[in-house]
Structure 1
Amino acid sequence: MFLKTEILKAISFKNPVKLPLSYWILICIRFALTLMPQRGYIHPDEFFQNVEVISGDILAVDVARTWEFNPKFPVRNIFVPKMILGPPLHLIRIANPYTKNYLNIDLKTPYYLLTLPRLFICLLSLINDYCLYKICVMYGQNFRNRLKIFASSYVVIVYCCRSFSNAFEMLFFSVLLFFVSECMFKSDKVIYHNEFLNEKYKQAKTAVERVKIFKLKTHLPDHSLNRVVVIATIVAIGIFNRPTFVGFAFPPIFFWLHRGLGSKVVGFKDFHCRIFTLVLCGIPTVLLLILVDSGYYGYLTMADIESLKISWDNWVVTPLNFLRYNSDMRNLTEHGLHPRWLHLAVNIPLLFNVLGIMAFFTISTHIYRFIRGQYSKLPRIQSITGMMLFSLIIPVAILSLFPHQEARFIIPVLVPLVFLYGNNLYANESDAPSRKRLKITLRYLWYTLNILLTIFFGFVHQGGIYPFANDLHREIKSSYGVHTHVITTHSYSIPTFLLQLESTNAIYKDKKTGHTYKLAPTTFLHKYGSMPMENLFVRINDILTNAESLLHEYKRQYRFYVVSPCSLEQRIKQESAKYPHIDLKVEISYYPHFCSEALPEFPNRHDQFCSENNILKANESHAVDLTMYQRITCYYKRFCLKVYQISPATNLIINK
């Protein structure tokens, strides 16, 4: 009985502990920065791959449905975005009438539409922290230092609080690592006690002793198929969310399958049984996800089900479409081709800075020892360190095989990275003074770089888009019916759902006459990317001419804006001078706004566009020399977003 109690204690890891105050402060900072809100705009996919589409479905507003959600060839699963973004958006839809009437708060404004989904995702991001914490406690590692390093990473503060499918992928990866770690921990304990009892059974001299030992063995819990249903479900959902999850799931699944293999009580029969059961348990989830996608994209309807006329054409498997699309090099070329060393040389230092560089040198040391045959100095293959090491290396290696590489693709590896090396930024009592100073320096460098990167990606990068959308939303609502034309150039697209435009696809019914009708659009967002300035003004001229024609023929009032980085001001004004019938007036500027598509040039001493106080004076014919301080100040002021109002010049004559 005593041995049974000890075994149960050994496989239990309930261990109440107290988290450090500094960690809770970092959590509060994460939520506070989400609520501010973060006006930075990392990549269009943070809106257009998830929250833009789900908002159109739930709030019944006009949105931009990107090519990934084209019913003819859909490549994105709808289940995960609906489950994660559905609750906050349904909350907005249901609560808005009450908050407007009783609290005078309109939830369908850009601030709440931006922050409430992010706040929910930020809450879900704590799952990553929890999984890291539980793994550390389970294996007796220092969780306090690791949690502080993890929570201070700008990847967690910025990326993991946005509606990126990569942020969802990180959640699934963290949960998978936790459950596999738990299974490994329990299996190690059970296998150890099983082998111990087998040895005692062989050494027993009497039948009574053997019976007692045999009874103790029967009390050992089953471990071979631990968490198989949960793990299979996570893997299936993760792959449908992003098929790249195969690369992230491979190391944990490999270690889950190999638990105890090579011991006296676990053999290849257990290994094959685990594979078969894992696949079998994943089939229901896969079928459910295929059913959801097929229904959402219109491949499967209730009429088909009722008539039982169902064929292969009624089903859509979005991960397969994703793979088919990305296997075509022409499609990847449209999104940009990158060298295969980009993740290793650029993205890892950019995302993980100190930890990424530390991991690079440590892994290089492991490779050197492996080549030299120093296997005893390498991490044990079936240990938690071995699993975390492979969970760091394998996903990055697999994703590096593809020529399209973006930094956000590898953010899930932050969890194993912090587990392996997060504690190395804190000094130990056994460290030499020089080593302690080095660790302290690296730790302060980590915090400094993450603060700067949080400011840059959270508030500066494409930071003018959100405040402009906020002002545009107010202007559209205050002058209902006025046609609004907005051209964005050399900047990311405006998330349409923030403007809450009435859906032009919905069918409305007149209560008096009973007639049905569709609304005609009154707001037109023209997204021209990095179009050459000459072609841009051809489009501006066409849109202005058409708007003026509607004004004179049907009295349709209009507004016309061009939104562009401040660095292009000189080129815009030069091109505008070629169109004397177009009046271009600066409306407002939003600062800061960093746009890599149109980086400003450092001004020279005679720059005419630096400051109104530094260009030609009224009574002088020569340019004023700018000091270095003025030039630097002018350079930083060019990192803004400028809005121009377009209207016909007073001498405009419309040819009828």
Structure 2
Amino acid sequence: MKLTRYINQLLLRHREIDENWYLYLFFAVLRIVLVFIPQKGYIHPDEFFQSVEVMTGDHFQLEHVRTWEFNNTMPVRSITLQFFLLRVPWCFLEFFAMYVRFYLNIELLQSYTYLVFPRLIMCLLSFVNDWSMYRICRLYGLQYEMRLLTLSSSWIMLIFSTRTFSNTIELALCSLLLGFVAECMIKTNTILYKKEILEERYEKAKSISERVKMWRLCRALPAHNYTHTLVLASICVVGIFNRPTFLVYGAPIVFYWLLRGMGTRSITFGDFNLRMLLFCLSAIPALIFFILCDSFYYKYLTIGELQMLQVGINNFLSTPWNFIKYNLNAKNTADHGIHPKYIHILVNIPLLYNVLGIIALVSFGQLMFRFFRAEYQGLPRAQSIISLMSSAIFVPLFFLSLINHQEARFLLPLLFPIVLMHAPKLYHGICATYPFKEEHPLLRQIYKTMLSTQASAKPLLKTWYMCNIGLAIFFGFIHQGGVFPLAQHFEMIMQTKSPAQHIHLITSHIYSMPLTFVNIPSLQVLHLNRDTAQRYRRQKDFYIYEYGSLKMPQLIAKIKLIMSHCDMKYKTKQQKYRLFLALPASLNDDFVTELEKSVNTKSYIQEPKLLRLFYPHLSTEALPRLRVWQDHPHIGEELISFVCQFGLALFELQPHREYKLPKRST
């Protein structure tokens, strides 16, 4: 009977493993598929303007926005990693596109490619997280199927990890660092355990031959003291140059690498110091490489200066130091927004990790409760994998909470340790056994209804999937989802318009539009005419005016000012222009109403012509409004109108023909 029950449990276990593994493969493939659909959602402007906008514009000589982080006076963004991740692959794609254009007459270098190709690179990089998770689980004998499934089903992996954020690279580097440190920890512990056993047998050996045998076995043990020193140091340098906040993520992880084996007879405090010294020395090659690359890119250092040996300390640039200096100034961080210290814990952790994040916070609170009650036996060992992962979560969370400016994406690297530690609780419940020290009917009831395996596993797992699906749809396809189609639309307009026509675009209540998606050749470089083999410089014929969340009367005043300027500029030169306005569809009625209110503007501007609506699109700065009352006779119409507001409207504006420009005074 017991044998039958045991066999049934094994079969059930294997069936569960197979289901988790197949589901993981499904989400892994889905991660790649979502790159090519593509996701039109726009999470944050830094997704483009801190990486792909500059790299694509520089490489293909396109008009692009170069943000303040990349100015030559005090650059705060390293270009080296972005160069190798984005610009080098662009070279291969450009070479391939040349043959596709020649043999198939298909143009690959367009806005779709500029969006998808960098995301594909980031998507491939995201599988570093999966590999590190699998590696740690195999090393420590953990169930990797459910952890990989939880990792791949997170909306962070489906959406964030395929976007060109520096935080996405930071997530992959932290996972890689944790993987190597965890491997070093278990290797050191295993070798030291074997060494102590052999030394003990050596001391107890009675014959010389047995002692010689134990001595040889002890000498044959592999080296472990400085394993992966160069790799770990290089990862830390890359992480800091990618984003200096890697200091608070990497420091606790590296500390556990330095701490390995401390407290045993073989490892002393001298080994700790020597490891630290060798770690710092191993970081020098990568440090020099990044400093030289950034110095050359930002023109702090030139080949001529090297040849003439006219090189000083001012010729070398350290972008992480500039980043730190900039953010130490409270006025600079205030320009980007000041948030309360509790935003990360109360808002951003639940937003990113929902029930898993709450479980992690509660579990850490339980550890602190045991610590302050001096229940040290219930705490994990100082050099265990649990301590490593707990430090990788809460040390960075503490220091990042002290910063005035807090965004959810700053906490992306916490995903890996949170999933590794707490993913099984989604499937097996929060507590397998009664967790309270005292026996009490109320506590027993709380355990049965909320914490036990049967009570909590299924609701937690359902909540996890529902939250991740909802957030993936919202941030992947709805949030600011009309900006990229708008750029594609103007790419087509710029390719089909006449050379003498000028395009002006006004935007309001939407995120900044990356100019590289409009695919306009740069005005700053000389282009080659393939027919005449002559060099020429393009004249500016595309203008964009981005007004953020400007109030409607002020927006209309700006429109009138731009239109009057265009009339004066182009009509005197016998040139044509087209003026467009893009704003969320939820503001259409407000725009038309305000336009009718303004007498002067109404006599000057014709009734705006709605050209196109881009769906879906949602701007949190202009949320749709539902005006439905209990006694409202047209509830259906209001619901349809409410749904139609989830779009981005594109208007064309024209002046009245009978309106005459005022004569310029002589």
- What are the Cα deviations for residues 169-207 of structure 1, in whole angstroms up to 9, with x where unaligned? 111111100000110011011110111111112112233
One-letter identity of the residue aligned with 2:618: F
Counterpart of 2:651 in structure 1 is 644
Shift of 1:511: 8.6
What does 1:38-77 correspond to in 2, within 5 Å?
38-77=39-78
One-letter identity of the residue aligned with 1:441: P
Aligned equivalents of 1:605 and 1:104: distance in 2?
57
Shift of 1:310: 0.8
Q: Number of residues paired by the alignment?
A: 623
Counterpart of 2:613 in structure 1 is 589
What does 1:221-260 correspond to in 2, within 5 Å?
221-260=222-261
Shift of 1:654: 1.9
Aligned equivalents of 1:155 and 1:302: distance in 2?
43
- What are the Cα deviations for residues 130-180 of structure 1, in whole angstroms up to 9, with x where unaligned? 111111111000000000010000000000000000001111111100000
Aligned equivalents of 2:532 and 2:480: distance in 1?
47
Counterpart of 1:20 in structure 2 is 21
- From the superposition, tell whether residues 638 and 228 of structure 1 become closer, same or farther in structure 2 (CA, over 3 Å): same
One-letter identity of the residue aligned with 1:233: S
1:634 corresponds to which of 634, 641, 645: 641
SS in 2 for 1:483: strand
Counterpart of 1:613 in structure 2 is none
2:478 corresponds to which of 429, 448, 460: 460
Counterpart of 2:551 in structure 1 is 532
SS in 1 for 2:572: helix
1:58 and 1:93 in contact (8 A); partners too: no
1:562 and 1:643 in contact (8 A); partners too: yes
Aligned equivalents of 1:237 and 1:196: distance in 2?
40
- What are the Cα deviations for residues 396-439 of structure 1, in whole angstroms up to 9, with x where unaligned? 11111101001001011100000000111112897789622420
SS in 1 for 2:654: strand
The reply on whether 1:475 has 2:487 as its aligned counterpart is: no
Shift of 1:517: 4.5
Counterpart of 2:569 in structure 1 is 550
2:129 and 2:172 in contact (8 A); partners too: yes
Counterpart of 2:461 in structure 1 is 443
Counterpart of 2:177 in structure 1 is 176
Shift of 1:514: 9.0
Shift of 1:512: 10
Aligned equivalents of 2:388 and 2:218: distance in 1?
29
Aligned equivalents of 2:208 and 2:146: distance in 1?
52
Aligned equivalents of 1:272 and 1:600: distance in 2?
60
Aligned equivalents of 2:106 and 2:533: distance in 1?
33
Q: Which moved more, 1:566-575 or 1:512-521?
A: 512-521
Aligned equivalents of 2:473 and 2:532: distance in 1?
55
- From the superposition, tell whether residues 626 and 234 of structure 1 become closer, same or farther in structure 2 (CA, over 3 Å): farther
1:655 corresponds to which of 652, 659, 662: 662
Counterpart of 2:441 in structure 1 is none
User: Which runs of 5 or more residues in structure 1 are unaligned?
Assistant: 1-16, 607-623
Counterpart of 2:290 in structure 1 is 289
Aligned equivalents of 1:318 and 1:326: distance in 2?
12
Counterpart of 2:345 in structure 1 is 344
Shift of 1:628: 4.2
- What are the Cα deviations for residues 44-86 of structure 1, in whole angstroms up to 9, with x where unaligned? 0000000000001211111100000011110000011112112
- What are the Cα deviations for residues 461-496 of structure 1, in whole angstroms up to 9, with x where unaligned? 001111111111111111152211111111101111
- What are the Cα deviations for residues 497-524 of structure 1, in whole angstroms up to 9, with x where unaligned? 1111111110246799998653221111
1:137 and 1:143 in contact (8 A); partners too: yes
- What are the Cα deviations for residues 362-415 of structure 1, in whole angstroms up to 9, with x where unaligned? 111111111101111111110111101110111111111101001001011100
What does 1:548-587 correspond to in 2, within 5 Å?
548-577=567-596, 578=598, 579=601, 580-583=603-606, 584-587=608-611
Counterpart of 2:212 in structure 1 is 211
One-letter identity of the residue aligned with 2:495: K
- From the superposition, tell whether residues 136 and 457 of structure 1 become closer, same or farther in structure 2 (CA, over 3 Å): same
Aligned equivalents of 1:275 and 1:368: distance in 2?
33
Shift of 1:328: 1.1
The reply on whether 1:391 has 2:392 as its aligned counterpart is: yes
Aligned equivalents of 1:76 and 1:139: distance in 2?
38
Counterpart of 1:9 in structure 2 is none
- From the superposition, tell whether residues 203 and 58 of structure 1 become closer, same or farther in structure 2 (CA, over 3 Å): same
Counterpart of 1:617 in structure 2 is none
1:602 corresponds to which of 612, 626, 643: 626
Aligned equivalents of 1:380 and 1:169: distance in 2?
28
One-letter identity of the residue aligned with 1:575: E
- What are the Cα deviations for residues 601-633 of structure 1, in whole angstroms up to 9, with x where unaligned? 332559xxxxxxxxxxxxxxxxx9444454344
Aligned equivalents of 1:487 and 1:166: distance in 2?
31
Aligned-residue RMSD, C-alpha: 2.1
Q: Which moved more, 1:400-409 or 1:646-655?
A: 646-655
Aligned equivalents of 2:68 and 2:38: distance in 1?
28
1:605 and 1:627 in contact (8 A); partners too: no
Shift of 1:99: 1.9
1:485 and 1:525 in contact (8 A); partners too: yes
Counterpart of 1:8 in structure 2 is none
SS in 2 for 1:487: strand
Aligned equivalents of 1:47 and 1:58: distance in 2?
15
- From the superposition, tell whether residues 510 and 99 of structure 1 become closer, same or farther in structure 2 (CA, over 3 Å): closer
One-letter identity of the residue aligned with 1:400: S
One-letter identity of the residue aligned with 1:635: F
Aligned equivalents of 2:396 and 2:414: distance in 1?
8
One-letter identity of the residue aligned with 1:601: R
SS in 2 for 1:260: coil
Aligned-pair identity in percent equals 37
Aligned equivalents of 1:633 and 1:585: distance in 2?
21
- What are the Cα deviations for residues 77-114 of structure 1, in whole angstroms up to 9, with x where unaligned? 00111121124422332222222233343212221211
Shift of 1:634: 2.8
1:605 and 1:631 in contact (8 A); partners too: no
Aligned equivalents of 1:535 and 1:53: distance in 2?
31
Q: Which moved more, 1:152-161 or 1:359-368?
A: 359-368
- Deviating runs (4+, > 3 A) in structure 1? 428-434, 508-517, 624-633
Counterpart of 1:95 in structure 2 is 96
2:432 and 2:453 in contact (8 A); partners too: no
Aligned equivalents of 1:49 and 1:288: distance in 2?
21
One-letter identity of the residue aligned with 2:643: Y
Q: Which moved more, 1:109-118 or 1:277-286?
A: 109-118
2:579 and 2:653 in contact (8 A); partners too: yes
Counterpart of 2:505 in structure 1 is 486
Aligned equivalents of 2:481 and 2:129: distance in 1?
27
What does 1:130-169 correspond to in 2, within 5 Å?
130-169=131-170
Aligned equivalents of 2:656 and 2:265: distance in 1?
89
Counterpart of 2:440 in structure 1 is none
Q: Which moved more, 1:517-526 or 1:147-156?
A: 517-526
1:80 and 1:241 in contact (8 A); partners too: yes
